[in-house]
């Protein structure tokens, strides 16, 4: 544990911060797996575009998990060491894909990103002016989650626009 590095933290109990970060860590692993498996099972219109987005987002979630685990270790904690613990500590949960249709998959992914945005917004507020290192890490992750939601929503909207245009052209 970095003694001097932890001395810059003011107004937050380090043990509480580690617990909050472990919850985010659990979320990242579950999001990683959700995107990974959704990219494998997705079916339907524009599935290739969805696969590209889901695969990229899975890689980002794994990178986020690494960033958070590194910070937990810097703070003197231990990242959750068993996947079962992810389900016990998650903020956002895990939505098992049951309907593999691209729209259903995108809806679940958008819901997950919205939860992540809420989670990281709270951590940003909590660490602002109290722990600049965690604040910077979490702010970076938050920016990625906002971008993910936008990417997924745009693809979702593109699918509906395509279907509407197709229906329109068929009625002519």
Binding residues for Fe cation: 28, 64, 113, 145, 148
Identify the CA nearest to 37 among candidates 121, 95, 86. Answer: 95
Identify the CA nearest to 64 among candidates 3, 128, 117. Answer: 117
Q: At what angle do helices 132-170 and 102-127 cross, to 10 degrees?
A: 160
CA 66 to chain centre: 13
Identify the CA nearest to 113 among candidates 165, 67, 148, 141. Answer: 148
CA–CA dist 138, 119 (Å, integer): 10
Cα torsion angle, 126, 127, 128, 134, sign: negative
Tell me the binding residues. 28, 64, 113, 145, 148
CA 62 to chain centre: 9
């Amino acid at each position: 544990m970095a003694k001097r590095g932890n001395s810059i933290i003011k107004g937050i109990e380090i043990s509480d911060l580690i617990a909050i970060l472990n919850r985010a860590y659990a979320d990242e692993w579950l999001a990683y797996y959700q995107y990974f498996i959704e990219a494998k099972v997705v079916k339907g219109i524009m599935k290739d575009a969805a696969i590209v987005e889901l695969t990229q987002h899975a890689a980002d979630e794994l990178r986020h998990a690494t960033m958070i685990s590194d910070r937990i270790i810097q703070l003197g904690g231990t990242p959750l060491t068993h996947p079962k613990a992810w389900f016990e500590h998650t903020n956002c949960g895990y939505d098992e894909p049951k309907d593999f249709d691209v729209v259903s998959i995108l809806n679940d992914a958008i819901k997950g990103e919205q939860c992540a945005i809420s989670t990281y917004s709270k951590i940003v507020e909590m660490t602002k002016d109290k722990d600049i290192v965690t604040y910077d890490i979490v702010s970076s992750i938050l920016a990625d989650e906002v971008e993910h939601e936008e990417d997924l929503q745009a693809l979702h909207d593109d699918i509906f626009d395509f279907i509407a245009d197709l229906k329109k052209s068929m009625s002519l």
